[in-house]
Amino acid sequence: MLETTILPDPLYADPEAYDVAFGWDSYAETTALLDVAAALLGRAPDSALDVACGAGRTLRDFARAGLTAYGLDRDARLLRFAKRRLGELGLSAELLAADMRDFTLPQPVDVAANAINGIGYLTGPGDLDRHLAALAANLVDGGLYIVEMSFGPVQAHWLGKGEPWAFERGTLRVMADWRLLSVDEETGLATHEATLIIQRRGEPERRVVCRHEMRKWDQPTFYAHVADSPLRLAQILGRDLQPRDPAQRLTYDDDNVFVFLQK
């Protein structure tokens, strides 16, 4: 039998640099999303899971909001960093090294979230169904799963287009770029190229360039998988956090949206 080995991803080799590049202040956005989840749940949530938490940006928001917070990721380097950073900020959360297709939390949570297209890493046949089933098994009845994602199809003018950004923390400055190189229209599989230019005072500059394969779901196909899962579509908010009509056809031009799925 063929076995797949996942090689350590170079994008996460320097978790602090990743966190500086992707760890912008999302607290206001996260608490606004929690307010919408509370309205759908019918009460304020007590607990939340950050799915594919990476270095822990959303996880820190959950802990800062006073929730019992859990962070799940398959990359142990990122989890170690996330724990250290939480400690530095006087926050706490429980971290789990696990695959988002198959995991069990110590107790079901009120809310789960999957930020910035993390759901796109589910590229294999059946992966999304396994993930939605595992997620639902770890949610309370009425609990919400907030999925931040962009939909396909991808218009040609987006391919190869980069919008580099830079952030600094202390003596570390990171310039980052994330661009979509190609999408297979048949399978929805997309190749992204991520670049980090890492400048630490007193150290030589380092450049990390790596490619990630992710799935770009078109909305009808994604909805069909949700319909086959224990979750149901409850709400969609645009990037501006304004409600969007779930029946309106979204494409890559609509940017990331927040899809609320409810158990």
Ligand X SMILES: C[S@@+](CC[C@H](N)C(=O)[O-])C[C@H]1O[C@@H](n2cnc3c(N)ncnc32)[C@H](O)[C@@H]1O
Q: Which residues bind ligand X (CB under 6 A)?
A: 22, 52-54, 57-58, 73-75, 78, 99-101, 115-116, 118, 121
CA distance 86 to 81: 9
Rounded to a whole number of angstroms, the minimum distance from the CB of residue 38 to ligand X is 21
Residue 203 CB, shortest distance to ligand X, in Å, is 24
Cα 213 vs. chain centroid, distance in angstroms? 15
Q: For residue 132, what are its two tokens?
A: 């939605």
Least distance from ligand X to the Cβ atom of residue 20, Å: 11
Which of 23, 159, 4 is closest to 81 using CA atoms? 23
d(CA 47, CA 137): 15
Of 54 and 152, CB closest to ligand X: 54
Of 57 and 173, the one with the shorter C-beta distance to ligand X is: 57
Instruction: Tell me the closest approach of the beta carbon of residue 70 to ligand X, in angstroms.
Output: 13
Distance between CA atoms of residues 220 and 78, nearest Å: 33
d(CA 19, CA 259): 24
Distance of alpha carbon 87 from alpha carbon 79, whole angstroms: 12
CB 25 within 8 A of CB 17: no
Of 106 and 124, the one with the shorter C-beta distance to ligand X is: 124
Min separation Cβ 3 and ligand X, Å:
16
**Looking at beta carbons, which residue is closest to ligand X?**
54
> Which CB, 74 or 244, lies closer to ligand X?
74
Sequence-separated (6 or more) residues with CB below 8 Å from residue 256: 116, 117, 148, 149, 150, 239
Q: How far apart are CA 239 and CA 216, in angstroms?
A: 17
Q: Least CB distance from residue 17 to ligand X, whole Å? A: 12
- Bridge partners of 38, per DSSP, are none
Pick 120 or 143: Cβ nearer ligand X = 120
Nearer to ligand X, 130 or 200 (CB): 130
